[in-house]
Amino acid sequence: EGEGDGEEGAAGGGGYGPDDGQGEEEEESVPPFAPLPSECRSSELPTCVLRDVYTAEQALSDPNFILQLEADMLMECCKFGKVVTLVSPDLPYYEGAVCVTYEEIM
Protein backbone atom coordinates (compact mmCIF):
# COMPACT_ATOMS: atom_id res chain seq x y z
CA GLU A 1 0.00 0.00 0.00
CA GLY A 2 1.56 3.29 -1.13
CA GLU A 3 4.88 1.73 -2.25
CA GLY A 4 4.45 2.74 -5.89
CA ASP A 5 3.36 6.29 -5.13
CA GLY A 6 6.85 7.80 -5.01
CA GLU A 7 8.22 5.74 -7.90
CA GLU A 8 5.57 6.88 -10.37
CA GLY A 9 6.41 10.56 -9.84
CA ALA A 10 10.16 9.90 -9.93
CA ALA A 11 9.90 7.98 -13.20
CA GLY A 12 8.30 10.90 -14.96
CA GLY A 13 4.73 9.64 -14.73
CA GLY A 14 3.88 12.28 -12.13
CA GLY A 15 4.52 15.97 -12.27
CA TYR A 16 2.49 18.76 -13.71
CA GLY A 17 1.66 19.18 -17.35
CA PRO A 18 -1.22 19.54 -19.76
CA ASP A 19 -2.55 16.01 -19.18
CA ASP A 20 -2.08 15.66 -15.43
CA GLY A 21 -5.60 16.78 -14.51
CA GLN A 22 -4.28 19.46 -12.17
CA GLY A 23 -6.05 22.78 -12.19
CA GLU A 24 -9.21 21.60 -13.95
CA GLU A 25 -11.42 22.70 -11.06
CA GLU A 26 -9.69 26.08 -10.95
CA GLU A 27 -10.28 26.67 -14.67
CA GLU A 28 -13.99 26.04 -14.25
CA SER A 29 -14.30 28.48 -11.34
CA VAL A 30 -12.45 31.37 -13.02
CA PRO A 31 -14.85 33.92 -14.51
CA PRO A 32 -14.34 34.83 -18.17
CA PHE A 33 -11.58 37.33 -18.90
CA ALA A 34 -12.52 41.00 -18.84
CA PRO A 35 -10.31 43.90 -19.90
CA LEU A 36 -9.16 46.30 -17.22
CA PRO A 37 -11.38 49.33 -16.64
CA SER A 38 -10.48 52.34 -18.78
CA GLU A 39 -9.52 54.41 -15.74
CA CYS A 40 -6.52 52.10 -15.28
CA ARG A 41 -5.04 53.45 -18.53
CA SER A 42 -3.14 50.17 -18.86
CA SER A 43 -2.60 50.65 -22.61
CA GLU A 44 -0.75 53.93 -21.93
CA LEU A 45 1.05 53.49 -18.61
CA PRO A 46 2.68 50.71 -16.54
CA THR A 47 -0.05 48.94 -14.59
CA CYS A 48 0.29 46.29 -11.87
CA VAL A 49 -2.60 43.96 -11.08
CA LEU A 50 -2.27 42.74 -7.50
CA ARG A 51 -4.44 39.67 -7.05
CA ASP A 52 -5.88 38.06 -3.92
CA VAL A 53 -5.53 41.28 -1.92
CA TYR A 54 -8.91 40.78 -0.25
CA THR A 55 -11.82 38.35 -0.21
CA ALA A 56 -15.42 38.95 -1.25
CA GLU A 57 -16.44 38.37 2.37
CA GLN A 58 -14.19 41.22 3.52
CA ALA A 59 -15.59 43.56 0.88
CA LEU A 60 -19.18 42.70 1.83
CA SER A 61 -18.60 42.94 5.58
CA ASP A 62 -18.04 46.71 5.59
CA PRO A 63 -19.36 49.26 3.08
CA ASN A 64 -16.16 51.32 3.52
CA PHE A 65 -13.77 48.38 3.19
CA ILE A 66 -12.77 49.02 -0.45
CA LEU A 67 -12.31 52.76 0.11
CA GLN A 68 -10.13 52.14 3.16
CA LEU A 69 -8.17 49.41 1.39
CA GLU A 70 -7.53 51.66 -1.62
CA ALA A 71 -6.33 54.47 0.68
CA ASP A 72 -3.97 52.10 2.51
CA MET A 73 -2.70 50.61 -0.75
CA LEU A 74 -2.11 54.09 -2.19
CA MET A 75 0.09 55.01 0.78
CA GLU A 76 2.17 51.86 0.27
CA CYS A 77 2.32 51.98 -3.54
CA CYS A 78 3.52 55.61 -3.52
CA LYS A 79 6.78 54.28 -2.10
CA PHE A 80 7.50 52.74 -5.52
CA GLY A 81 6.70 55.68 -7.79
CA LYS A 82 4.07 58.24 -8.70
CA VAL A 83 0.67 56.52 -8.72
CA VAL A 84 -1.69 57.75 -11.44
CA THR A 85 -4.66 55.55 -10.51
CA LEU A 86 -5.44 52.84 -8.00
CA VAL A 87 -8.73 50.98 -8.35
CA SER A 88 -10.34 47.73 -7.33
CA PRO A 89 -12.24 46.68 -10.48
CA ASP A 90 -15.87 45.73 -9.91
CA LEU A 91 -15.68 42.78 -12.32
CA PRO A 92 -15.89 39.07 -11.43
CA TYR A 93 -12.58 38.31 -13.20
CA TYR A 94 -10.78 40.78 -10.94
CA GLU A 95 -12.44 39.84 -7.65
CA GLY A 96 -9.98 40.51 -4.85
CA ALA A 97 -7.63 42.48 -7.11
CA VAL A 98 -6.29 46.01 -6.95
CA CYS A 99 -4.92 47.68 -10.10
CA VAL A 100 -2.15 50.23 -9.64
CA THR A 101 -1.09 52.45 -12.56
CA TYR A 102 2.21 54.28 -12.29
CA GLU A 103 3.46 57.28 -14.23
CA GLU A 104 6.68 55.39 -14.96
CA ILE A 105 8.56 52.30 -13.87
CA MET A 106 11.20 52.97 -11.25
pLDDT at site 105: 83
Residue 64 falls inside a structural domain:
yes
pLDDT at residue 1 greater than cutoff 90: no
Nearest residue to 92 via CA among 66, 54, 56, 67 = 56
Residue 9 falls inside a structural domain:
no
Residue 46 falls inside a structural domain:
yes
Domain tally, the chain: 1
Residue 29 falls inside a structural domain:
no
Residue 100 falls inside a structural domain:
yes
The angle formed by the CA atoms of residues 37, 103 and 83, to the nearest 5 degrees, is: 70
pLDDT at site 82: 96
Q: Which residue has the higher pLDDT, 22 or 40?
A: 40
Computed over every residue of the chain, the mean pLDDT equals 82
Range of the domain at 69: 34-106
pLDDT at site 91: 87
pLDDT at site 27: 56
pLDDT at residue 61 greater than cutoff 70: yes
